[in-house]
Structure 1
Amino acid sequence: MNLVEPLLHYATQQPDQIALSDGNKCRTYSALVQRMKQIALGLQRNGLNHDRIAIISTNRIEFVEVFLGAIYAGCVPIPLDPKWSSKEVNAIVEQCQPKMIFAETAFAKKLVLHDKQIQLLTFSAAEEAGFYESWIDTLQPEAEIDNTNELLFIGFTSGTTGTPKGYMRTHLSWLNSFKSTSEAFQLNNMTHVLAPGPFVHSLSLFAIMQSLYTGATFHIVKDFNASKVLQLCKQIPEMILYVVPTMIESMIQETIPRATQIQALISSGGKWTETSKNRCKEVFGGVKLYEFYGSSEASYISYLDIHAANKLNSVGRPFHGVEISIRDEHFQEVPTDSIGQLYIRSEMMFKGYYQLLEETTSVFRDGWLITGDFMYIDQYGYLYMAGRSNNMMVTGGLNVFPEEVESVLQQIPEIQEVMVLGVPDAYWGEQVTALVKWSGQQRLSTEEIKNYCRQHLASYKSPKQIITVDQFIYTSSGKMARQAMKDDMKRVMV
């Protein structure tokens, strides 16, 4: 089944229902399907068949139209992050070799197209007529749907620890994901959806597609602003919000939340701290609160109902249909409450990394996906994050996961935000170091922080050095950019 087929049904059964709204203009299901078919016809007339179509754009209606039109035509859309440098954008274009690129005018200048066969269409500013608009006007909504391509799109990881990799998702994997989330998140209805993160990332992109798949209205905001998001939720009751933990922190600090009528707040894209969860329960009252753990490659793995669970430091229990196995370095399952690497198996997993056969082979073993996350599971089936394998430090011959240390440090009121990393050390190999952004004027000494950590961690895991930072670097999806922070620290410490 093609993922956009339900839109054809809604265009007939509820033609005047708003599918997309950005606050200034909107698309009904009837109008959206018409645009989708027009774009598909344009692609097919240009001889595109199962070819790759790149999109570089901020959050706007045209992004969604092109994404859907490409899928309808049987092509493969590739969203490119507008926050990437020109070098990064062109490296991905060179790798993927799209036959056509749709670009917002402001980002078209990043493109250096050596292949003259690549066609470029630009989105204009709202008040102007651009190539995209004039191209659309020449087309009729008469294209036939192409159901022969199992590949849905190619996305790119956010690059928190290095170079982004292209991950391939199929129609079936997302259809199964829709089913799993519907079962897990017990929502009264899905009529209004908002995901204020960049469309180029899987959390927001998934939210758009699930919204349209269920016949709801998706509300588009160009950039995340806590005050504006909460004002929108106040105007439109029963909103379902897909956010990352950094967005939640910003919303908690606003004075508006108590007046909103949000139906559900669903968090992913980073560890949501226990302290923040408790504050969120106080501020948002009876709003349904969920956290889910997953990845672009695995899709949904586990989820936690914040109100129902008393294990707020966990990442919940597996979604229906997700098998998990926690294994040691010899690929043997470890006992309950023992840390090992998480393997998962489900019908929601990705197909592989685009043109990276070796990397794809390395993350699969006998049908299981190796997540790269070290976890443990308790006797009640709740999963707990220990850390990621590529973040692990070795100090004095002992393994330390920065995430484990960070979860302890985040409980200290004086610390607003923290990142732990290993700094090269002649004696220890790596010295456990904490980068700290303080909540206020009061700052703790290294010894005070060590004393606190010793109550919760083995002594070798306690930070040996504290470095104050004014600001952290984030990826465009709102995650802490660990590699960028490490590189920044190296330059400072040289």
Structure 2
Amino acid sequence: MNLVTSILQHAMDDPKRIALTDQQSSLTYSVLVHRIKRIALGLKQQHVHGHDKIVILSANRIEFVEVFLGAVYAGCIPVPLDPKWTKAEVDAVIEQCQPAMIFADQALANNLSLEDREIRLLTFSDEEEGSYDRWLEPLQPEAEMDDTNECLFIGFTSGTTGMPKGYLRSHLSWIKSFEATSEAFRLNPMEHFSAPGPFVHSLSLFALMQSLYFGATFHIIRHFTAGKVLELCKQVPEVILFVVPTMIESMMQEASPGQTRIQALISSGGKWSEASMMRCKEIFGDAKLYEYYGSSEASYISYTDVYADNKPDSVGRPFNGVEVSIRDEHFQEVPSGTIGQLYIRSGMIFSGYDHLPDETASVFRDGWLRLGDYASMDADGFLRLAGRAKNMIISGGLNVFPEEVESVLQRLPEIAEVMVFGVPDVYWGEAVTALVRWNGEKRLSTEEIKQYCRHDLASYKAPKQLITVDHFIYTSSGKIARHAMKESVKRVMI
């Protein structure tokens, strides 16, 4: 089963349908397939073989998509790298994966150290004809598809707490994910998609490939701004947007009620406050709003229809085909409503970490994937996350999950954003501490915060100190960069 097969079929059934557009240029399905085949032929002429790796270091652009799919058509494995990585991170990943060729934005080529490596580099450029264009021009699409490779691509974790890890995703795992989300999100019509985040991240890359898999038009936004996305939504009714909460917050600051006709906002990458969700309904009217919980390794796990489910503290019900098990430290299932380690089993999970057999083995047990999250499931089948195991604070010998505390504090209208973490403390071991970006001029005291928390949290979970910050640092996928924030606060506290 090969993801490109459906794209080839769309090119036959509806050749003039626009597959990709970036508001400056567009490719029909027919032209996209023609270019995919030319790229595959070029790879073969470079003596690139099936299962060889093809690195792509690029911002969001049409060339990223056609190279990705051309590599897949040729039986190779595309490996997208994050343009925001340091030169050291890029070099380390290239050393690990040993690509046969590299395709890169001209502006990013300086982040490559290829002096001692025999790797062909081709570059994209907006200013002039790049080496990629010159390479592609004489090629004719004679290559046949190599569909023997089960691996679709190698992606990388964000690397916020260490070097990025490569994860292997199969064609079948993503095709099953397309089917699961189509059923859950009830998207109709599926004619226009956009995901303004970087293609190097699962959320946007998945939305892009889902759009092409179903024969829709994908609208490329090179760099997110709220204005660009809102302008697209005015021009293209019924667009389906895959976004992170920070993007929606930015859009709500600039949008007015009734300006757009968005079919659906599909959000992941962070939990919303209930107040923000209600404001979203006021501004975007009849747009469907879905939140989903997933990961690069697990793909889709659970989802919630924000306006229909009325479970603001949950991450929703499992997608069709996803089995969930909550277990204790002895791998025994716990009763309903009890917090334990979260395991899942589905046809959507990843195949393992690239060149890391021990790490792969450590996250699987008897066919179950361990997420590294603590969670509970209520009697209605809705999942509630307690927090990440790696973020857990031990204060006074008791476990505190920062995410649980954050979800309570985010309900306060005075708080715009918050991050909770543990600060070493002689008495407590770790003192529960909240970094707060305030919403306006009003500030709450630590005692007022503690009083508020008593309604929903045990007293030992309430923050013992507050630190005001002007802004947060984010990962390139739009999440708060916890490690970077901790380090920046440590420097201030010393």
Q: 1:387 matched to which residue of 2?
A: 387
2:342 is aligned to 342
After superposition, the C-alpha distances for 1:461-492 in whole angstroms (9 at most, x for unaligned) are 11111001111010111011111111112222
Q: Do the aligned partners of 1:160 and 1:480 also contact (CA within 8 Å) in 2?
A: no
Give 1:166-315 correspondences, 5 Å limit: 166-315=166-315
| Paired residue type of 2:97 | C
Structure 1: 5+ residue stretches without partners? none
Partner residue, 2:100: 99
- Checking the alignment, whether the CA contact within 8 Å between 1:341 and 1:375 is kept in structure 2 is yes
Q: Which amino acid aligns with 1:318?
A: P
Separation of aligned partners in 2, 1:243 and 1:161: 23
Cα distance in 2 between the residues matched to 1:385 and 1:212: 33
In the alignment, residue 124 of structure 2 is paired with which amino acid? Answer: F
Where 2:107 maps in the other structure, the secondary structure is helix
> Which deviates more from structure 2 when the two are superposed, residues 482-491 or residues 431-440?
482-491
Shift of 1:269: 1.5
Question: Take 2:359 and 2:488, find their aligned partners in 1: how far apart are those partners?
Answer: 27
Q: Secondary structure at the match of 1:135?
A: helix
How far is the alpha carbon of 1:310 from its aligned partner?
1.3
> 2: distance between equivalents of 1:115 and 1:240?
45
1:136-175 Cα deviation digits (max 9, x unpaired): 0021111110011000000001234443211100001001
- Displacement, 1:77? 0.4
1:334, CA displacement in angstroms?
0.9
1:116 alignment partner AA: R
Task: Calculate the aligned-residue CA RMSD, in Å.
Answer: 1.0
3-state DSSP of counterpart to 1:37? helix
Q: Which runs of 5+ in 2 are unaligned?
A: none
CA distance in structure 1 between the aligned counterparts of 2:485 and 2:9, rounded to whole angstroms: 48
- Return the offset for 1:357: 1.0
Give the Å deviation of 1:347: 0.3
| Structure 1 position 451, deviation (Å) | 1.2
Q: Distance in 2 between the 1:389 and 1:115 partners? A: 41
Deviation per CA, 1:56-102: give whole Å up to 9, x if none.
01010000010000000000000000011111111111111111110
Cα separation, 2, equivalents of 1:94 and 1:152: 21
Query: Which letter maps to 2:23?
Result: G
Structure 2 residue 78 is the aligned partner of structure 1 residue 77: yes
Cα distance per residue 1:161-203 (max 9 Å; x no partner): 4432111000010011111111111111110001000000000
> How far apart, CA to CA, are the structure 2 residues paired with 1:195 and 1:318?
23
Q: Report if aligned partners of 1:231, 1:256 keep a CA contact under 8 Å in 2.
A: no
> Displacement, 1:274?
2.3
In 2, distance between residues paired with 1:412 and 1:172?
43
State the match for 2:152 in structure 1: 152
> 1-side partners of 2:424 and 2:85: how far apart?
29
1:463 aligns with 2:451: no
Give the deviation of 1:257 after TM superposition: 4.8
Whole-Å Cα distance in 2 between the matches of residues 157 and 272 of structure 1?
Answer: 23
Secondary structure of 1:484's match? Answer: helix
How far apart, in 2, do the equivalents of 1:393 and 1:463 lie? 11
How far does the alpha carbon of each residue in 1:9-38 deviate from its partner, in whole angstroms, 9 at most, with x for none?
111221111000000001111111111011
Q: Which secondary structure state, in structure 2, belongs to the residue aligned with residue 435 of structure 1?
A: strand
Partner of 1:19: 19
How far, CA to CA, are the matches of 1:162 and 1:442 in structure 2? 37
* Distance (Å, rounded) in 1 between the aligned partners of 2:67 and 2:283: 38
Q: Is the 8 A contact 1:230 1:256 kept in 2?
A: no
SS of 1:372 mapped into structure 2? strand
Greater CA drift, 153-162 or 208-217: 153-162
Q: Alpha-carbon deviation of 1:237?
A: 0.5
2:394–2:400 contact (8 Å) kept in structure 1: yes
Pair 1:122 & 2:123 matched: yes
Instruction: Give me the whole-angstrom Cα distance separating, in 2, the residues matched to 1:160 and 1:268.
Output: 18
Q: Is the Cα contact below 8 Å between 1:292 and 1:315 reproduced in 2? A: yes
Aligned AA (1:21):
T
Contact kept, 8 Å, 2:230 with 2:255, in 1: the verdict is no
Question: Structure 1 length normalisation: TM-score?
Answer: 0.98
CA drift at 1:282: 2.3
Q: Deviations over 1:231-254 (max 9, x none)?
A: 110110010000011111111222
Matches of 1:388 and 1:37, distance apart in 2: 43
Q: For residues 451 and 13 of structure 1, what CA distance do their matches in structure 2 show? A: 63
User: After superposition, what is the alpha-carbon deviation per residue over 1:281-318, rounded to whole angstroms, capped at 9, x for unaligned?
Assistant: 22222111111111000000001111211112211100
Conservation of the 8 A alpha-carbon contact between 2:242 and 2:267: yes
Cα distance in 1 for residues equivalent to 2:83 and 2:160: 16
Q: Is the 8 A contact 1:162 1:483 kept in 2?
A: no
